[in-house]
């Protein structure tokens, strides 16, 4: 998914810091209800202050619920935060719970 973010470094008055990046991710089943997940957001051009954002984890589906344990080099969730990149030498752990209503 290509994304362009205007003025990635907000509050700086000398010029803009536009960033263009591409989000790539996927999920692979290792058994019928368990998946390995991964994503990376490499920046193609523009402002590049840190490492590209990446994340990986494991998902488990139980009925209509999906539990995810995710590890990433950033805790950003918005396009602006992803454009700023990840933190080198850091790894954050997160947990997600989703419910599908039929």
Positive or negative CA dihedral for 60, 61, 67, 70?
Answer: positive
End-to-end Cα, the chain, rounded Å = 28
> pLDDT tens track of the chain, all 102 residues?
888 888 776 666 566 678 888 989 999 999 999 999 999 988 888 877 778 899 999 999 998 999 999 999 988 778 777 877 888 888 999 999 999 886
Q: Is 80 helix (H, G, I), strand (E, B) or coil?
A: helix
pTM for the full predicted model: 0.79
């Amino acid at each position: 998914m290509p994304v362009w973010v205007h003025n990635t470094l907000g509050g700086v008055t000398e010029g803009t810091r536009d960033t263009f990046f591409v989000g790539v991710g996927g999920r692979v089943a290792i058994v019928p209800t368990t998946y390995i997940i991964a994503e990376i957001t490499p920046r193609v051009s523009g402002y590049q202050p840190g490492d590209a954002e990446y994340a990986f984890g494991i998902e488990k589906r139980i009925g209509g619920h999906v539990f995810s344990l995710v590890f990433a080099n950033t805790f950003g969730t918005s396009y602006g935060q992803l454009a700023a990149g990840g933190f080198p030498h850091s790894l954050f752990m997160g947990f997600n719970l989703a419910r599908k209503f039929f």
